[in-house]
Amino acid sequence: MIRIRLYGGPDRIRGFIIWGHARFAPRGGDIVCAGVSAVATTALIGLHRRIPGYVRYGMLPQGLMVCRLRGTIPKAQAGEAQIILSVMALGLQSIRSSHADFIDISYRR
């Protein structure tokens, strides 16, 4: 199962951690893992490009991705970060709606 923790709340996400594997299909053909990876990686790239210096992240080949916003982000860039993170959350929830047995999503304040 893929576990996703979004830090903050739906209106103000400060970061996320994603770990695990869906095991929806054999390695290399798992569309659930691929979808989650694509959505999260795209968000991470967007954050890194739009608010450089305010994103701390890490990835491990075992299937762990961590991303946290840090510091006091200028207001305009903070708004952009929230749009990126909110769209990521919507994408992940959409994948979960079709594959609920393979993804767990929760918010941690």
Smallest CA-to-CA distance from 16 within 77, 93, 75, 79 is with: 93
Residues 27-53 pLDDT 10s: 889 999 999 999 999 999 999 999 999
Residues 52-91 pLDDT 10s: 999 999 998 777 999 999 999 999 999 999 999 999 999 9
Exposure letters 72-91 (e unless 16+ CB within 10 A, then b): ebeeebeebbbebbbebbeb
CATH code linked to domain 2-108: 3.30.70.1490
- Amino acid 63: pLDDT: 79
Smallest CA-to-CA distance from 95 within 42, 45, 39 is with: 39
φ, ψ (nearest 5 deg) of residue 14: -105, -10
Number of residues that make up the chain? 109
Going from N- to C-terminal start, the domains of the chain cover: 2-108
Smallest CA-to-CA distance from 107 within 6, 12, 14, 38 is with: 6
* Close Cβ partners of 50 (under 8 Å, ≥ 6 residues apart): 77, 80, 81, 84
